Chains A and B, each alone.
Chain A
């Protein structure tokens, strides 16, 4: 199908598209061909299935490498081993508990960091004074890689739950701050003037014009934040974790259990996917008004 579309954009040769091409009048000039809009070209296979086939192929290749011995178990366990140890971990309830602990960590950090980031962005975005007080320090601090703060966080918060959550909160606050702030500042000034001519009060302007205008940017920020929350979670869980996926992984490392490590990686990946899916859904709901490009 996709090869036909490519051909359709080349006007001259017929290249086996005889039907459409010969139906078009082609006296003299280049043959006219019907160009099917990409979005209306039915692919037969549903979109989710197409999206799934890439990862499935990857897993198949991995499996093949394992059973043929190209990939020894000590280096990386094969998918079947990984599956059986996953089943074991699930049966004992270890995995679910670890996931819950990790997820709670990530979400707590995100909630704290996100509220701080968004609040600061609104203060800096809406008020001159807020901008002067908040923006410069935020721009300065964002250049510090937050993983570099781990030693400081350990000194401040010890090695319990607090430094892990603080690390995630720090990591998520900045992308949200930057994007919400930029979103507010980039709200189309003509829309603000349109609002003024309609007699909107300052509060109504913020509610009906500024915040909706900043929303697309805010969701971009959320997406970055979630990505960083995950990264920060992985780093944070290296700090003497006593529960969570990181703990499971550290344990497995001690005993060279590559299968358990892979299970943990997969869980990280799936949690990441789930979060990405959540953001996509939010975008679909809140940005339904946008003429977004949905891809070919």
Chain B
């Protein structure tokens, strides 16, 4: 459904993964009391699509991404990626955290290279590191340490560190949350480009309704904790999109309505 004009670079041609989430419930323990966070959440994501998760703060969006990444395991239900139940974390599906979480003792290049180094294939694939850094527009900053980068640059390094592994599922937890609005707009456009070029499945968690609608093909809206899906909006607009598109405004009203904010708009 996406009109692609950008040619995929040879390095990133892996196809996206399919996600099936089946009646997943999850709860934490808080001061001895069980804290239900996800309540029978179920949905599927087609391979290669770009989906946004939207919902009130603390409803369980990050938790769901962590479950998908394999960092935690659900109390009930099953998460399947390409038909297989999610086990331990795997570089084929990478979570990009809200904070860049770069390794401060590694340079930009070494941060990006760590995944390949761990797989023992760095020697033969150094060009992939260079390419990933180039892709996020940080060529020339190879030798910089994380403390020498701006917030937006650090976030881009985190993105490169994920992309270099050629993930087939990219889980983005408010990757643009802390950026200033200008950098944010630029990065939004770049994210769409990256997704198109890499041909992967991407799941984006965000607070920002416009961001969700502008970037993705489908917006899942969660209710307050414990989260269940209250709406599933298809964004039927081709890329590249225009922020002023009246259809986006319409969809935004709809989304805000589901979030209980209709009165203010």
Q: Is the CB of B103 within 8 A of A197?
A: no
Partner of A190 from the list B91, B101, B145 (CB cut-off 8 Å) is: B101
Q: Is the CB of B95 within 8 A of A197?
A: yes
Q: How far is the CA of A199 from the CA of B92 in the complex (A)?
A: 9
Q: Is the CB of A197 within 8 A of B105?
A: no
Chain A proximity mask over B100-124: 1 for CB below 8 Å, otherwise 0: 0111111100000011011100000
Q: Is the CB of B119 within 8 A of A199?
A: yes
Q: Is the CB of A199 within 8 A of B115?
A: yes
Q: Across the interface, which residues of B come within 8 angstroms of A255, CB to CB?
A: none
Q: How far is the CA of A193 from the CA of B165 in the complex (A)?
A: 16
Q: Across the interface, which residues of B come within 8 angstroms of A190, CB to CB?
A: 97, 99, 101
- Interface size for chain A: under 10, 10 to 19, 20 to 34, or 35 or more residues? 20 to 34
Q: Across the interface, which residues of B come within 8 angstroms of A188, CB to CB?
A: 101
- Interface size for chain B: under 10, 10 to 19, 20 to 34, or 35 or more residues? 20 to 34
Q: Is the CB of A199 within 8 A of B104?
A: no
Inter-chain CB contacts under 8 Å: number: 67
Q: Across the interface, which residues of B come within 8 angstroms of A288, CB to CB?
A: 145
**Candidate in B99, B103, B106, B165 with the most chain A CB atoms within 10 angstroms:** B103
The residue of chain B having its C-beta at the shortest distance from the C-beta of A215 within the complex is B105
B residues 59-77 touching A (CB-CB < 8 Å): 69, 71
> Does B236 count as interface, using CB distance less than 8 angstroms?
no
Q: Across the interface, which residues of A come within 8 angstroms of B89, CB to CB?
A: 196-199
Q: Is the CB of B114 within 8 A of A289?
A: no
Q: How far is the CA of A196 from the CA of B145 in the complex (A)?
A: 21
User: Residues of A at under 8 Å CB distance from B?
Assistant: 188, 190-191, 193-201, 204, 208-209, 212-213, 215, 288-291
Given A198-B91, A204-B117, A289-B104, 9 other A-B residues pairs in contact with their CB atoms under 8 A: A190-B99, A191-B103, A194-B97, A197-B89, A198-B94, A199-B119, A204-B118, A209-B103, A289-B105
Q: List 25 A-B contacts (CB under 8 A).
A: A191-B101, A191-B103, A193-B71, A193-B97, A193-B101, A194-B103, A195-B114, A196-B71, A197-B91, A198-B89, A198-B91, A198-B114, A198-B115, A198-B161, A199-B115, A200-B118, A201-B118, A208-B114, A208-B117, A212-B105, A212-B106, A289-B105, A289-B107, A289-B146, A290-B104
